[in-house]
Structure 1
Amino acid sequence: MLGLGVESTAHTFSCAVLEKKGKKGKILSDVRKIYRPPEGEGIHPREASRHHIENSSTVLSECLAEADITIKDLDIVSYAAGPGLGPCLRVGAVVARSLASYYKIPIYPVNHALGHIELGKLLTGAQNPLVLLVSGGHTMLLAFLNKQWRVFGETLDITLGQLLDQFGRSIGFASPCGKNIEQLASSTTNYVTLPYSVKGNDVSFSGLLSATKSISSKSKADACFSLQETAFAMISEAVERALSFTQKKELMVVGGVAANKRLSDMLQNVCKRHNAKFFVVPLKYAGDCGSQICWTGLLESQVKKGISLENTFVTQSWRLDSVKIDY
Structure 2
Amino acid sequence: MPGKIRQTPLKSADRDYLALGLEGSANKFGAGIMKHSKDGSAIVLSNVRHTYVTPPGEGFQPRDTALHHREWALKVIDDCLTKAGVSMHQIDCICFTKGPGMGAPLQSVALVARTLSLLFNKPLVGVNHCVGHIEMGREITGAQNPVVLYVSGGNTQVIAYSRQCYRIFGETLDIAVGNCLDRFARIINLSNDPAPGYNIEQEAKKGKRLLPLPYATKGMDVSLSGILSAVEAYTLDKRFRTQEASADSPPDEDIITPQDLCFSLQETVYAMLVEITERAMAHIGSKEVLIVGGVGSNERLQQMMGIMAQERRGLVFATDERFCIDNGIMIAQAGLLSYRMGFETPLAKSTCTQRFRTDEVHVAWRS
**TM-score, normalized by the shorter chain, greater than 0.5:** yes
SS in structure 2 of the partner of residue 26 of structure 1: strand
1:227 deviates by 0.4
Aligned amino acid, residue 79 of structure 2: E
TM-superposed CA distance for 1:18, in Å, is: 1.0
Within the alignment, does 1:16 sit opposite 2:32 as a pair?
A: yes
**Mean Cα displacement is larger for which, 174-183 or 238-247?**
174-183
- Correspondence 1:190-229 to 2 at 5 A: 190-216=209-235, 217=240, 218-229=256-267
1: distance between equivalents of 2:98 and 2:191? 26
Residue 312 (str. 1) matches residue 350 (str. 2): yes
- 5+ unaligned residues in a row in structure 1: which ranges? none
Between the aligned residues of both structures, percent identity stands at: 39
Cα contact 1:36–1:174 (8 A) shared by 2: no
What's the CA shift for 1:174?
A: 4.0
2:142 aligns with 125
Which of 171, 174, 177 is 1:160 aligned to?
177
If you compute each CA radius of gyration, which structure gives the higher value, 1 or 2?
2
Shift of 1:281: 1.9
Q: CA RMSD in A?
A: 1.0
Unaligned runs of 5+ in 2: 1-16, 241-255
Amino acid at match of 2:60: I
Distance in 1 between residues matched to 2:132 and 2:105, nearest whole Å: 17
Q: Which residue of 2 aligns with 1:140?
A: 157
SS at the partner of 1:30? strand
Deviations 1:52-88 (A, max 9, x none): 1111111111111111111111111100010011110
Partner amino acid, structure 2, of 1:273: E
Corresponding residue for 2:295? 257
Question: TM-score under structure 2 normalisation?
Answer: 0.87
Q: Pick one of 302, 305, 309 that aligns with 2:340.
A: 302
CA contact (8 A) 2:137 2:318 kept: yes
Distance in structure 1 (CA, Å) of the matches to 2:346 and 2:361: 19
Tell me if 1:32 matches 2:70.
no
Q: 2:310 aligns with which of 272, 276, 280?
A: 272
Count of residues in Structure 1 that have an aligned counterpart in Structure 2: 327
Corresponding position of 1:110: 127
| 2:153 counterpart letter in structure 1 | G
Q: Is the 8 A contact 2:191 2:199 kept in 1?
A: no
Distance in 2 separating the partners of 1:102 and 1:284: 30
Q: Partners of 1:201 and 1:143 in 2: how far apart?
A: 12
User: Which of residues 106, 124, 133 in structure 2 aligns to 1:89?
Assistant: 106
Q: 19-28 vs 247-256, which deviates more? A: 19-28
Name 1:4's counterpart in structure 2: 20
Which deviates more from structure 2 when the two are superposed, residues 273-282 or residues 314-323?
273-282
